[in-house]
């Protein structure tokens, strides 16, 4: 399939003129991807902090997730789906733009107004030139962005010239006020703001001195937030069923604070625990599953499921404590598989074979080009898109061209020190900028990352490190540097 390309200005101008700037004609798209000339609807569901094994189809014996399991039975389950970062904002930026966090300067979770951050008066993103200074013997690290720049092209903006109506529901966490979803191409924004987590999951969504969600008007005291998100999604789908539409359902759940509906929590308290045993967290997972059921059920009842691509995934690994990611090592925030490997399921009836499984590594930057190709719309011409469309995997017609995927986290976070990662084939190299320099794992033989092979395979380390360094230079990644100590 051939893609024409546009700049952001060209895309928005086309949208303003009502031009369907498709990369291929409707009939060509239909011949390639579907049975009719209709452009497919896109539903992208991003759960917050959901771990790789937090669903029955991924091995959980504790959580009840019939709708997630049914989605996998009707679509393709990826065993090696990855988030672009072990924390949320960088992954969200990568999902929206198809560009690696290191290229965007969004490499840690955004501390904007709600988290006590301060928006610079000059409106210059601190990631442009700012650095933080550690104590003696520590590294100086690049400052993280406080917003996703408006000149980035989001999925919503890419789809707009092709006639798509777009809706964001739930967590945004890519900037405050003038960087909200409605400023980034979405026609409707319900709940998206600078909050990294809701003050409360129960209407009016406030707790103590913390205000409620500014873009979600309370309507029924005690209503559970995930249920409200699902209700808004159903309303949007029903209203725009003629399509094409893009729904970005970015759940606040299952992020802390841990809160669940009383009866569902009680249900899990009565269940036999496994390595996963938190009843409140389990209730939150079930609410996300219920929401998926309502969305898919609406698509089916309106008879538009066969013309809708549904993508279900998470923004980073499960948080240790509330859940367990075993057999994966560690969890959210950490560079091991438990921090970055995610559930990923794609359903598109008539395109994706029901009950299929894919073991090819896929990551957050791939959704942008995949959606663009599925919709037959333009890719930007004035910037690099790091992701690769996974349509050949979904259609089982071929593989991907790339040989490796990458991560870059140039920050301190608790016990985590700045690091970069490359995964190439079965090999994963973890590079730290302070302390132990390398860890090397064979993920096919050692999924739990128990055996570090770096000392035994120095040539493999050297080769992978060279590839990693080349990538870091290519995307303009900022590398932590030593603090120069001066005498006074």
Give the integer Cα–Cα distance in Å for 88 and 146. 13
451 with 399, same domain: the answer is no
What Å distances lie between residue 466 and 421, 439, 449, CA to CA? 12, 15, 22
Question: What pLDDT is recorded for position 209?
Answer: 73
pLDDT band at 288 (very low <50, low <70, confident <90, very high): very high
Q: What is the CATH number of the domain that holds 219?
A: 3.40.720.10
Give the active site residues.
88, 173
Whether 170 and 285 share a structural domain: yes
**Closest by alpha carbon to 131, among 485, 440, 481, 486?**
481
The residue to which tokens 């008879």 are assigned: 303
Q: Give me the number of domains the chain comprises.
A: 2
370-380 pLDDT per residue, tens: 999 999 998 99
Domain boundary among 356, 374, 403: 403
Q: Are residues 451 and 340 in the same domain?
A: no
Closest CA to 483 of 139, 16, 107: 139
Mean pLDDT is lowest, of 13-22, 214-223, 352-361, for 13-22
Q: Quick check: is 5 in a domain?
A: no
HEC string for 62-130: CCCCHHHHHHHHHCEEEEEEECCCCCHHHHHHHHHHCCCHHHHCCCCCCCCHHHCCCCCCCCCCHHHCC
Alpha helices, DSSP H, located in 315-385: 337-340, 367-375
Instruction: Taking residues 193-214, report their average pLDDT.
Output: 90
Pair 396, 413 in one domain: no
Q: What is the pLDDT of residue 113?
A: 77
Q: How far, in Å, CA of 139 to CA of 411, rounded?
A: 9
Residue 3 lies in a domain: no
Residue carrying the six token digits 């608790």: 414
pLDDT at 136: 57
In this structure, the answer to whether residues 131 and 152 fall within a common structural domain is yes
Domain termination residue (choose one: 352, 380, 403): 403
Same domain assignment for residues 70 and 198: yes
- Decide if 477 is inside a domain: yes
The answer to whether position 307 is within a domain reads yes
Q: What is the pTM of this model?
A: 0.92
The more confidently predicted of residues 33 and 48 is: 48
Query: Whole-number mean pLDDT of the chain?
Result: 91
Give the integer Cα–Cα distance in Å for 276 and 322. Answer: 8
Instruction: Indicate whether 426 belongs to any domain.
Output: yes
* CATH code, domain carrying 461: 3.30.1120.10
Full residue range of the structural domain in which residue 299 is found? 30-136+142-403
Shared-domain flag, residues 394 and 447: no
CA 101, distance to chain mean position in Å, is 11
| Same domain, residue pair 249 and 378 | yes
Same structural domain for residues 362 and 279? yes
Among residues 389, 408, 454, the alpha carbon closest in space to that of 428 is found at 454
Choose one of 350, 373, 403: the last residue of a domain.
403
What does the pLDDT average to over 45-63?
98
Q: Tokens at residue 421, please? A: 């990662």
């Amino acid at each position: 399939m051939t893609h024409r390309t546009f700049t952001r200005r060209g895309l928005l101008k086309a949208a303003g003129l009502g031009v369907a700037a498709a990369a291929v004609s409707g009939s060509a798209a239909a011949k390639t991807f579907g049975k009719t000339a209709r452009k497919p609807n896109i539903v992208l569901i991003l759960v917050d902090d959901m771990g790789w094994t937090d669903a029955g189809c991924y091995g959980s014996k504790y959580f009840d997730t019939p709708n997630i399991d049914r989605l996998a039975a009707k679509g393709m389950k990826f065993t090696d789906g990855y988030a672009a970062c072990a924390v949320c904002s960088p992954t969200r930026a990568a999902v929206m733009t198809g560009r690696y966090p290191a290229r965007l300067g969004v490499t840690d979770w955004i501390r904007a107004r709600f988290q006590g951050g301060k928006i610079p008066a000059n409106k210059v993103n601190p990631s442009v030139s700012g650095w933080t200074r550690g104590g003696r013997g520590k590294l100086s690290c690049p400052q993280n962005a406080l917003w996703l720049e408006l000149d980035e092209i989001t999925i919503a903006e890419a789809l707009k010239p092709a006639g798509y109506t777009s809706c964001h529901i739930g967590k945004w966490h890519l900037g405050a006020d003038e960087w909200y979803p409605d400023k980034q191409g979405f026609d409707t924004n319900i709940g998206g703001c600078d909050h990294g987590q809701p003050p409360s999951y129960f209407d009016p969504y406030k707790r103590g001195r913390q205000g409620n969600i500014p873009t979600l008007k309370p309507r029924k005291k005690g209503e559970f937030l995930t249920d409200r998100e699902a209700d808004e999604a159903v309303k949007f789908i029903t209203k725009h069923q003629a399509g094409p539409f893009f729904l970005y359902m970015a759940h606040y759940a299952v992020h802390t604070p841990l809160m669940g509906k009383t009866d569902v929590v009680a249900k899990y308290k009565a269940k036999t625990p496994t390595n996963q045993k938190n009843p409140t967290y389990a209730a939150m997972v079930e609410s996300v599953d219920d929401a998926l059921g309502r969305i898919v059920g609406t698509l089916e009842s309106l008879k538009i499921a066969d013309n809708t691509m549904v993508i279900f995934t998470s923004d980073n690994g499960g948080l240790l404590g509330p859940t367990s990611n075993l057999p994966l090592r560690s969890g959210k925030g950490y560079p091991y598989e438990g921090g970055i490997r995610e559930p990923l399921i794609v359903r598109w009836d008539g395109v994706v074979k029901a009950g299929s499984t894919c073991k090819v590594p896929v990551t957050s930057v791939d959704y942008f080009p995949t959606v663009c190709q599925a919709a037959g719309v333009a890719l930007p011409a004035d910037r690099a898109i790091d992701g690769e469309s996974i349509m050949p995997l979904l259609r089982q017609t071929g593989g991907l061209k790339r040989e490796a995927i990458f991560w870059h986290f140039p920050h301190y976070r608790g016990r985590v020190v700045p690091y970069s990662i490359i995964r190439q084939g079965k090999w994963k190299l973890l590079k730290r900028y302070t302390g132990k320099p390398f860890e090397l794992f064979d993920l096919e033989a050692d999924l739990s990352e128990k055996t570090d092979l770096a000392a035994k395979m120095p040539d493999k380390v050297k080769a992978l490190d060279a590839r990693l360094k080349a990538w870091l230079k290519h995307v303009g990644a900022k590398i932590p540097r030593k603090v120069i100590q001066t005498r006074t």
